[in-house]
Structure 1
Amino acid sequence: MTSQTYKTLNQWWDFRLKLYGEGIFTGLLTSFVIVCFRFSLEKAELFRTKVFLFAQTKNHGVLVLWFIALILIGFLLGKLTQWEPLASGSGIPQVKGVLLGKIKTNWLSVLIVKFWGGLLAIGAGLSLGREGPSVQIGAAVGQGMSRLLGRLRIEERYLITCGASAGLATAFNAPLAGVIFALEELHKNFSPLVLTSAMVSSLTADFISQQFFGQKPIFSFHNLPVLPLNYYLYLIVLGLMMGAFGVFFNYSLIKISNLYKKIKYLPKTLIPLIPLAFAGILGLVLPEVLGGGHKIIESLIQNIFSFKVLLLLLAVKFLFTMASYGSGVPGGIFLPLLVIGALAGKIYGIAITHYLSADPMFLNNFIVLAMAAYFTAIVKAPVTGSILITEMTGSFNHLLPLITVSMTAYFVCDLLKSEPIYETLLGRLLPAKGKLDSASEKGNKVLLEIAVSLGSKVAGKKIRDLIWPYHCLIVGIKRGNSEIIPTGDTVLFPGDYLIVLSNQDKMPEVRESLTKMCSECSKFLNESDSSNP
């Protein structure tokens, strides 16, 4: 065994004992950074509100100064994203790419650009959310901690996951959603190590966040009644509608992004001026759509808007979100899409109340349910969506209707063959940005952890009877609390976790091949292929 291989294996087993402590420390560091980010955003949004209040008093000088400031902000955003392209957009696709080994990032430049770029873009009024930047900032903190401590790349992936989970937990006061997001969206499998490390990191981050922002949920849905079973038909119809609407959101977002790329009369560094010009105008005529839109949801709870105004807000918020995110400036889509979902849910609730004689006391239920369904339709993460909305509203009494409406929306997306938005964005990102430099990574060894799923090609078979990818070696199997040193006669079972040694430069290909072999549908696909000559 070479010294590099021995070092990799030896540090891997030692690292597992230190993972809890490093997860807590990562959550601690991430929470302080995101608390500063949230606090700065609140001050920026308060300042923006005061500017437009002055403008409404015919103080044209303030308005002129604000539009000049928007031009400067647009120029700065263009320069920042040119300096660090991987800090543009949501940041979640970039984190997924890093975890898959398909993207290489500079954690410090990403951290700086994402923090200040997100603050400028959202603070200026673009329809973007803080959660995407929070996830990527947290991931950068975890990666930076790994690099400063000299950790292995496999260890780095866990710390990146810890930081990303802590970032989401701090952004929304939702520690469970941060953990489930790591499992369902970032890793796409249930790993005990990911679960435990992300859990301690998210809980630590949420504890620190609550010291600054209090223990209240993000949205104040007080005394929300439990939806009766005879209303579940309305619920399923809502899920069908939100599923189709989510597919349209994903389609529109990609189309708008393509339109921005076709613009020839403006340099790329000045593209942010387009949505910022809309932000300046909308601030005068419809300021409710500026920023993430948290206040819109609070207003929906209080029944402030008329039906026609709700339709107007839905249309403008949707279009403005497309224009804002499509420009490529730093900022997420979590909160804007939740606001769009809430507006659609309110409109749906009013419609069935007026035309189908539904009880008005359940009107706010449809706001919450539509948010979960819309999130699921766009991201295709139903468990994360249900848990996130549950934590954001502060009530666990609505899990059954939340999961029901989410799975209905998910079914529609599958039926329409819609890809998860972050998968689509990652696919568009890879050809152009930050791929791994294979030559620089060729001598390094990494360890992968791959879950064996029920019904996979490898389940129930001996190791020697399977054709494994080149450039990998199975060095361990974790089965429950037991750790097995494999031989050729070792039989693999569903629920096993394969510990696989590979070269760093071959890691993306090896991971992709092993994931296909161990996924739950691989056996079915293999049998299907063999039956069709």
Structure 2
Amino acid sequence: MTGKTFDGLIHWRDFKLKVFFEGIIIGLFSGLIIVAFRYGLEQAESLRELIYHTTSWSSYKIISLALGLVFIAFTLNLIVKKEPLVSGSGIPQVKGILTGHLKIKWLTVLILKFFGGILAIGAGLSLGREGPSVQIGATVGQGVSRLLGRLKIEEKFLITSGASAGLAAAFNAPLSGVIFAVEELNKNFSPAILMSTVAASLSADLVTKLFYGSSSAFNFPQLPILPVNYYIHLIGLGLIIGLFGGLFNRSLLKTMELKDKLGSLPNTVIIAIPLLIAGVLGYLLPEVLGGGNQLIDSLNQHYFSLSFLILLVLVKFFFTLISYGTGVPGGIFLPILVIGALTGNIYHDLIVNTFHISPLYSNNFIIFAMAAYFTAVVKAPITGSILITEMTGSFSHLWALITVSTVAYLASDLLKTKPIYEALYDRILAKKQPLPKNAETMILIETIVCLGSEISGKTIKTIVWPKHCLLVNIKRGDQEIIPQGDTRIYAGDHIFALVNKNYATEIEHSLCSLTMEIDHLP
């Protein structure tokens, strides 16, 4: 290990300050690029609406539209073929980079994800901007790391900062960006991660607000407080949403397996089929096209009959499956929020008719269902609750959001489905050729010693540590400790280990087993 690496670990306070300022730089650049990405999507969607709102349709216009959609399919196939890691959401790919299992050409991925996302979502596929925004932000973080010549052990912090900034800029939700980075990407709390992601998210959100103002992503003004005696209906909503979320996860994975079985069919044809379906839906049911921001806002502004809401949720559900199943750039973050919002509206109408509750709380059930559906699919209840709170601009409903999200999380576990991004990440790794075990690229892993863990109170020399890792630093409060054989480990210690990246996943699991509370081990 080089002297620069030791210096960074020993002077941990300086390291945290450095990644904080680097997070600001990453957030500013990510914010500018995501603003441009959002603007491009808006222009593409405006063009799409202009085309489909044309009153006079002729055979010539229909043929021209079909040829245009096929050309987009051809272009998207070229993009995915050029760089397979731009396909899909991008969030599983970011997880792979952080664990050291995936390598990307950051500039190539940034450019292709940018234009591929605009083409796919702008053409009408039921995909969201948030996944591409997270991956674009992560590539910015990696690009800054490479341009500044940072060490591999530092790059993880900068990539995470960029991903956090990407989500913050996509939804005007800086706190959600930070929570998402901790809960979903790293699944570990670290002061350095916290400082860098906060800096990146806030600076990205500042840039976004300069262009788009301070308004929330969704327009739900003056939401009344849900009475406590209505919470029984939240439990029912959470149970239904949790089961539907588990069904969505399984259906999405089955759709992707089906796509793999169609290997003999040209990929351009596979992409063209949902694009042509989008062309038909653009004329018959344009509400289900694209991510769905306008559809969620319209639920607050217009009344839809129960039968029309059921039609919308069914079509959006299946169209999202086949859209994502193509493998083109685009996320499922926003579409699952739309499916949740529609389900919440349907549930509210049913309980109004059945239990004769006040119709005043329709919007409450819409936003609660969004948080619940996100939680059921992604298995990130804190992110879901905070995200919907920020996106609706109302912090007075956090207790109800947490309640319904918790119930949805427990209900989705009944189906024993993996969190969707973990399942998609596993698919990527299953298809990937393993790296040679003689590759000696080293990365830094951090873990926290829990109260009651197996190693709490023991000295380092008495602990059986995993192979292929080197304990290099212990952080205890503000104290930095260079590990020695007689150094004793205590609950609350942050342990840093330098590991060969080819063994990173196995070592991280082993370290977590050592540091977790014994009663919580599986």
- Superposition TM-score, scaled by structure 1 size: 0.94
The structure 2 residue matched to 1:463, chosen from 439, 460, 464, is: 460
Quick one: structure 1 residues 151 and 435, their matched pair in 2 at CA, closer, same or farther if it must change by over 3 Å?
farther
Residues 164-193 of structure 1: CA deviation (Å, up to 9, x unaligned) = 000000000000000000000000011111
Structure 1 segments (4+ residues) deviating >6 Å: none
- Residues 91, 421 of structure 2: 8 Å contact kept: yes
- Could you tell me which amino acid in structure 2 is paired with residue 19 of structure 1? V
| Uncovered stretches (5+) of structure 2, i.e. residues with no partner | none
**1:342-491 equivalent positions in 2, closer than 5 A:** 342-433=341-432, 435-436=434-435, 438-439=437-438, 441-442=439-440, 444-491=441-488
- Residues 5, 445 of structure 1: 8 Å contact kept: no
- Residues 455, 489 of structure 2: 8 Å contact kept: yes
- Could you tell me which amino acid in structure 1 is paired with residue 210 of structure 2? Q
Aligned to 1:287: 286
Q: CA RMSD in A?
A: 1.6
- Residues 104, 436 of structure 1: 8 Å contact kept: no
**2:467 & 2:446 partners in 1: Cα distance?**
17
- Could you tell me which amino acid in structure 2 is paired with residue 454 of structure 1? L
**2:411 & 2:315 partners in 1: Cα distance?**
25
Residues 92-116 of structure 1: CA deviation (Å, up to 9, x unaligned) = 0010111111111111221122111
Shift of 1:464: 2.1
**1:33 & 1:368 partners in 2: Cα distance?**
29
Q: Please, which moves more after superposition, 15-24 or 326-335?
A: 15-24
Residues 229-278 of structure 1: CA deviation (Å, up to 9, x unaligned) = 10010001100110001000001001111111111452124321121111
Shift of 1:292: 0.5
- Residues 8, 15 of structure 2: 8 Å contact kept: yes
- Residues 247, 413 of structure 1: 8 Å contact kept: yes
Quick one: structure 1 residues 438 and 209, their matched pair in 2 at CA, closer, same or farther if it must change by over 3 Å?
farther
Aligned to 1:38: 38
Aligned to 1:512: 509
- Residues 16, 195 of structure 2: 8 Å contact kept: no
**1:170-189 equivalent positions in 2, closer than 5 A:** 170-189=169-188
Quick one: structure 1 residues 445 and 253, their matched pair in 2 at CA, closer, same or farther if it must change by over 3 Å?
closer
**1:473 & 1:371 partners in 2: Cα distance?**
44
Q: Please, which moves more after superposition, 174-183 or 265-274?
A: 265-274
- Residues 27, 202 of structure 1: 8 Å contact kept: yes
Aligned to 1:531: none
**1:457 & 1:318 partners in 2: Cα distance?**
45
Q: Secondary structure at the match of 2:497?
A: strand
- Residues 132, 330 of structure 2: 8 Å contact kept: yes
Kindly tell me the number of residue pairs found equivalent between the two proteins: 519
**1:478 & 1:81 partners in 2: Cα distance?**
43
Residues 415-469 of structure 1: CA deviation (Å, up to 9, x unaligned) = 3322100010111110223754554x41x44332222233432233322221101
- Superposition TM-score, scaled by structure 2 size: 0.96
Aligned to 1:23: 23
**2:116 & 2:432 partners in 1: Cα distance?**
19
| Uncovered stretches (5+) of structure 1, i.e. residues with no partner | 527-533
- Residues 444, 499 of structure 2: 8 Å contact kept: yes
**2:249 & 2:499 partners in 1: Cα distance?**
36
- Could you tell me which amino acid in structure 2 is paired with residue 50 of structure 1? L
Aligned to 2:493: 496
Aligned to 1:5: 2
Query: What percent identity do the matched residue pairs reach?
Result: 55
**1:167 & 1:433 partners in 2: Cα distance?**
26
- Could you tell me which amino acid in structure 2 is paired with residue 150 of structure 1? G
